[in-house]
Amino acid sequence: MVKRGQVEIQFNWVFVLIVGAIILAFFIAIVMKGKDLSAKSTGAKLSFDIETITTGASVSKGTAQIINIPNLGLEFTSTDDCLREYSIGGATRQYRDKVIFAPTRIEGTQLLAWTIDWSLPYRITNFLFYSSPYMRYIIVAKQLNVPEWNQAKKINQSLPEEMYKELVDIDSIGSIADNKNYKVRLVFFNTAVSLPPNLMNMKTKDLTALLVTSISGNDEEYDITFYKVQGTTFQSEYPITKAIGRASLYGAIFAEDYYMYKCNMQDAFKKMDFITRIINNRTSELYGIPNSNCQIKYNQAIDISSGVLTKMLDDAQTLSTDLNTAGKVSDIYTQAYGSSGLQNINNGLQIASCPRIY
């Protein structure tokens, strides 16, 4: 028979254990809540710091730097309706008026920041590129195709040295090793897109590809296609889109997500619309100079029906809302760099000792 005192002692121990567990859970909850608040506070501060860094970088160009950051995971998103945001530690900010190309997630304690100006042919704005030294970029082309290989080699060399990058022959893609990078971006130049067998065990969202096809062999206009892993192959879920200007191509390389690229470029064309209006107004004023040789060239730029600036303004307005409007990117390239384009008009003005358009 169990004595009454023994039952009371057992009950007291059970009660103590229950109460102790409740108290322990209470303090753990407080600690976790404090940790969460601390992370959000740190994230809010860092998001402000990144905003400051972004603002500073947007007024400089041609610079790449490594910035130390807390390892909280920096994420970049862009929706199909072009809401562009970045977040860290639970704190979120919108891009505002910046043009930022970045992978969907940056891990680690270092942020790679790079700035390049975008010109067509006059300077329009600076593009900002963010990535991680721990993310791997693999440029792929066919070495036996000399023009293709040289183009890919040139792009690889022009990317910042701080990037984890390499140039690979398409015939050697089967030997690409898995170096355990948290993300891998493959960029194929004028060649078939294929998934390296040694990378198939990566998470599908962390392995992406881009196909770059140069137009007419020039270094300013490209067809680009974004790919994601589906099963054991790369598949494109998005339409072929355009890159114009080397900075635009870099944007496609850094922005592994189609919507991030599209929305940033549409915003860039909004800026082009604004800058082109200013240049067009300036050219209209220059047209008043009493010099027939100068006036002929200014008119080639601003003529209401055939002027190159007039056409570029119309194209920029269209592309600012729909990047994939047929023929518009190619038309801008022609108006900017063609034999009768703005660049040649501007050079002709200089030779004729007339004030240049830009």
At 169-213, the pLDDT tens digits run 999 999 999 999 999 999 999 999 999 999 999 999 999 999 999
Query: CA 264, 270, 273, 274 torsion: positive or negative?
Result: negative
Question: Is 15's pLDDT higher than 60?
Answer: no
- Tens of pLDDT, residue by residue over 59-106, are 556 778 898 888 888 999 999 899 999 888 778 888 878 899 999 999
For residues 106-129, b (16+ Cβ closer than 10 Å) or e, as one string? bbeebbbbbbbebbbbbebbbbbb
What pLDDT shows up at residue 71?
A: 85
Averaged pLDDT for residues 329-357: 96
The per-residue pLDDT for range 109-147, each reduced to its tens digit, is 999 999 999 999 999 999 999 999 999 999 999 999 999
The answer to whether 116 and 157 have CB atoms below 8 angstroms apart is: no
Angle 211-162-78 from CA coordinates, rounded to 5°: 50
Mean local confidence (pLDDT), 146-154: 94
pLDDT of residue 218: 72
Residue 37: per-residue pLDDT: 46
Q: What is the pLDDT of residue 26?
A: 55
Per-residue pLDDT, averaged over 247-254, amounts to 98
Kindly tell me the sign of the dihedral angle through the C-alpha atoms of 199, 200, 202, 207.
positive
Q: Tokens 């704190």 identify what position?
A: 91
List pLDDT tens digits, range 210-219.
999 987 667 7
Pick the most confident of 51-65, 226-240, 262-276.
262-276
Q: Considering only CA atoms, which of 224, 205, 204 is closest in space to residue 214? A: 224
Supply the pLDDT for residue 96: 76
Q: What is the DSSP string of 245-297?
A: SHHHHHHHHH--SHHHHHHHHHHHHHHHHHHHHHHHHHHHHHTTSS-HHHHHH
pLDDT reading at 33 higher than 80: no
Give residue 214's pLDDT: 86
pLDDT at 38 over 70: no
Output the six-digit token pair for 62. Answer: 């041609």
The arithmetic mean of pLDDT across residues 144-166, rounded, is 95
Please determine, for residue 52, whether its predicted confidence score (pLDDT) is greater than 90: no
- Quote the pLDDT of residue 234: 96
- Candidates 94, 216, 89, 191; CA nearest to 138 is 191
Q: Helix 308-319 and helix 328-337: axis angle, to 10°?
A: 150
Phi-psi region of 348 (alpha: psi -120 to 50; beta: other; left: phi over 0): alpha
What is the band of 25 on the pLDDT scale with cuts at 50, 70, 90? low
What is the reported pLDDT for 32? Answer: 54
pTM of the predicted model, to two decimals? 0.84
Are 307 and 341 a contacting pair, CB within 8 Å? no
| Cα–Cα distance, 156 to 144 (Å, whole number) | 17
- Mean pLDDT across 144-152: 93
Tell me: pLDDT of 2 over 60.
no
User: Per-residue pLDDT for 39 more than 50?
Assistant: no
Residue 146 CA to residue 310 CA, distance in Å, equals 39
Question: What is the model's pLDDT at position 215?
Answer: 79
Q: What mean pLDDT is reported for the chain?
A: 87
- Nearest residue to 211 via CA among 155, 253, 170: 253
For 123, list phi and psi in degrees, rounded to 5: -70, 130
State the pLDDT at residue 164.
97
Residues contacting residue 226 through CB under 8 Å, at least 6 positions apart: 208, 209, 210, 236, 237, 238, 241, 252, 256, 257, 258, 261
Per-residue pLDDT band at 230 (split at 50, 70, 90): very high
- Rounded average pLDDT over 23-39: 54
215: phi then psi, degrees, rounded to nearest 5: -95, 120
- How do the domains of the chain map onto residue ranges? 269-351
Predicted confidence band of residue 54 (pLDDT cuts 50, 70, 90): low
